[in-house]
Structure 1
Amino acid sequence: MNVIDLRSDTVTRPTAAMREAMLRAEVGDDVFGDDPTVNALQARIARMLGFEAALFMPTGTQSNLVALMTHCGRGDEYLVGQMAHTYRWEGGGGAVLGSIQPQPIVQQPDGSIALADIEAHIKPDDAHFARTRLLCLENTWGGSVLPMPYVEAATALARSRGLATHLDGARLFNAAVALDRPASDITRHFDSVSVCVSKGLGAPVGSALCGSREFVARAHRWRKMAGGGMRQAGVIAAGALHALEHHIARLADDHAHARRLAEGLQGLPGVTVQVPQTNIVFVDVPAERSNGLVERLAQRGVLCTGLYRLRFVTHLDVSADDIERALPILREALAG
Structure 2
Amino acid sequence: MSPRDYKSKELVWDSLAATRSKPRRVLPEGDVVGHLYPPAKAALLTHPLMKNLPPETLRLFFIHSAYKFMGDIAIFETETVNEVAMKIANGHTPITFPDDIRHDALTVIIDEAYHAYVARDFMRQIEQRTGVKPLPLGTETDLSRAMAFGKHRLPETLHGLWEIIAVCIGENTLTKDLLNLTGEKSFNEVLHQVMEDHVRDEGRHAVLFMNVLKLVWSEMEESARLAIGQLLPEFIREYLSPKMMAEYERVVLEQLGLAAEHIERILSETYSEPTLEDFRARYPLSGYLVYVLMQCDVLSHAPTREAFRRFKLLAH
TM-score bucket (shorter structure):
under 0.3
The TM-score normalised by the length of structure 2 is 0.26
Name whichever structure is richer in helix by fraction. Answer: 2
Name whichever structure is richer in strand by fraction. Answer: 1
